[in-house]
Amino acid sequence: MFSKEDNEILCRVGPGTPMGKTFRSMWMPFMLPEELPAPDCPPVRVRLLGEDLVAFRDSEGRIGLLDRYCPHRRVDLFFGRNEECGLRCVYHGWKFDVTGKIVDMPAEPENTQMKEDTRIKSYPVIEWGGVIWAYMGDQATMPAKPPEMEWGLVPAEARFITKRLQRTNYAQGVEGGIDSSHVGILHSHLDPEHPELPFRQRQISPNLAIPYLASDTAPRFFIRPTNYGMAIGARRNASDEEYYWRVTQYLAPFYTMIAPLREGRAFMGHAWTPIDDHNCWVFTMTWNSDRPLDADELDHGAVHSEVTDDGTYRPLLSSENDYGLDRVRQKLYSSTGIEGIGMQDTAIQESMGAIVDRSVENLGSGDAAIAGFRRSILKLAKERESSARLEIADNPQWFRVRSTAAILPHGTDFLEGTAAYTKVD
Ligand code: FES
Ligand SMILES: [Fe+2]
């Protein structure tokens, strides 16, 4: 059983909380470059780990991430002017550069000491791997690099990254991302020709080349803690001598990677970045390690959801319109009646409430990865409580792994059997 106390530790991400301190020890993706497309473009409101901030790109292309509220009399800097290498508060004109230094105070005497003594809170930002990253921890322990995720290492034309708002705590997203046992059920298609047959006889595998997903809906799970987080092996029967293995990766603190259905196809992963305790940014990554993505790979199964174009990244479908739920479609064609894998995941994760009460769940053997994730991240938070530095933050190369699917003979260790595919050179 997961206690209410542990659930609090798992889910609270604000300043001073154990998990908040853990996340502040690492670089985190929080924006797409398209949000700050050019020097001196409009500033953008940002909320991250429960802190209200503003991001802007200065005249030289550098990105600043500052406290949303002016240190003078707390005006919202979203209304500021982004000009000549700084963001200027429009109330009395205080102007800040990307490092948080005050470079102008027009309503104060020319040589005021206040200009040197006052600063605005600012966080370092870098652009790498198709996303913008922030580091919100102590300067003294700032990791040299973000984690070397494969989607960040491949050329831009070999990756596709989208962002959407999800109205849940980040942990619900991570748990959905590593929950291999829902794939053959939540995302299953149904044979429309025989609506009279029972549900389980009507399920069609998402890929006909991989019939085991639908034919064996109760895989056995094997959890392997690793230096980056955890590898999860889901084992299904393939033949009398072989198993079909799907290896899902959990990379601390909030990254997941799902196995491709077939070899040589694109990989898929997510980052579940906490906006605050009740909301997260879902970054969805599709990438190919060998070549540019083809059109089919760009949106296989609608994993990338459509969002509004007003900068809020709200999905077009949401709880307000029941995620487009169509009961006729549900009767005939799919498990949910909701279109697209991304929206099916969001709908069920949001339906649990913003912070699910894990103390009243009933976990089964299919939830081994979920329990493994909770153990893994609580251990990380403990490490952070006892030391100012996290080992994982200083070892970005540990993240050079990927997911895979393979058919292996009985008796083969799944990590050894797939080692050649899961390591990124
Ligand atoms: S409130 Fe910002 S300059 Fe006065
Ligand atoms: Fe899913």
Q: Which atom of ligand 1 lies nearest, measured to the CA of 105?
A: 3
Residue 323 DSSP class? G
Q: Kindly identify the ligand whose nearest atom is closest to the C-alpha of 71.
A: 1
Model confidence pLDDT, tens digit, residues 68-101: 999 999 999 999 999 999 999 999 999 999 999 9
- 368 SS3 class: helix
Tokens read off for 272: 């579940």
Tokens read off for 321: 């319109």
Residue with tokens 């609270």: 12
Close Cβ partners of 286 (under 8 Å, ≥ 6 residues apart): 159, 160, 161, 266, 267, 268, 293, 297, 298, 299, 300, 303, 304
Interval between CA 95 and ligand 1 midpoint (Å): 9
Q: Closest by alpha carbon to 399, among 129, 162, 158?
A: 129
Interval between CA 259 and ligand 2 midpoint (Å): 12
| Strands 125-128 and 87-88, bridge-based pairing | unpaired
Ligand 1, pocket-test mutation among 94, 104, 114, 119, most atoms within 8 A of CB: 94
Interval between CA 76 and ligand 1 midpoint (Å): 9
Query: What amino acid is encoded at 393 in this protein?
Result: A
Model confidence pLDDT, tens digit, residues 333-378: 999 999 998 899 999 999 999 999 999 999 999 999 999 999 999 9
Cβ(94) – ligand 1 distance below 6 Å: yes
Q: Percent helix, strand, coil in the chain (nearest 5)?
A: 30, 25, 45
Domain boundaries of the chain, sorted by first residue: 36-129, 150-422
Q: Residue 425 — very low, low, confident or very high, per pLDDT cuts 50/70/90?
A: confident
Q: Which atom of ligand 1 lies nearest, measured to the CA of 94?
A: 3
Q: What is the pLDDT of residue 214?
A: 67
Interval between CA 183 and ligand 2 midpoint (Å): 6
Tokens read off for 301: 């199964």
**Least-confidence region, from 25-29, 67-71, 186-190, 272-276:** 186-190
- What's the average model confidence in pLDDT over 388-405? 96
Q: What is the pLDDT of residue 146?
A: 98
Q: Residue 185 — very low, low, confident or very high, per pLDDT cuts 50/70/90?
A: confident
CA distance 116 to 88: 16
- Got the DSSP string for 150-192? HHHHS-GGGEEEEEEEESS-HHHHHHHHT-GGGHHHHT-EE-T
Close Cβ partners of 160 (under 8 Å, ≥ 6 residues apart): 285, 286, 287, 293, 298, 304
The CATH architecture of the domain made up of 36-129 is 3-layer Sandwich (2.102)
